[in-house]
Amino acid sequence: MTIKVGDKLPSANLIAGTAEGPKPTTTDEIFGGKKVAFFAVPGAFTPTCSAKHVPGYKDLASDITAKGVDAIVCLSVNDAFVMKAWGENQGVMDTIQMIADPAGDFTKAVGLDMDGSKFGLGLRSQRYSMIVEDGVVKELNVEAPGEFKVSAADYLLAQL
């Protein structure tokens, strides 16, 4: 079942891709007591994710945080080394937390997984964004397959 507005996010172990290397973390650490602008993508270094998704959040980071957001978080079903390399490539290591969901445990728990096998990707996350306050979903924007509209930074900023 897909998570919905008003639901508390499930507890999950994740891994942050940091400048110092992989750092184990949890959903409680990421979302507990914070207002978080969160977006998930099918894959690091993929065309739309690299050309539009991350750059949009990078460009609007100060506008987003000015609305009371404590953290901007990007999640992908990748490993932490890839998320770190992607964050460095995109120049966002100081503004966006790059979070790996290596086995897709969180992604499956929120019901937003997809089968990307026909693109050579395997289990991946759908493209979506959400505003989360203290672990509770306040806004949820799930893209239709092949779309990039409602998970974009400007769309999420308008919801803040």
- Asked if residue 158 lies in contact with residue 29, where contact means CB atoms within 8 angstroms, the answer is no
Residue 39 CB partners (closer than 8 Å, separation 6+): 53, 57, 73, 74, 75, 128, 129, 130, 151, 153, 156
Asked about 74 being catalytic, the answer comes back as no
Catalytic residue among 12, 16, 36, 49: 49
Q: Which two tokens stand for residue 125?
A: 């996350």
Residues serving a catalytic function are 49
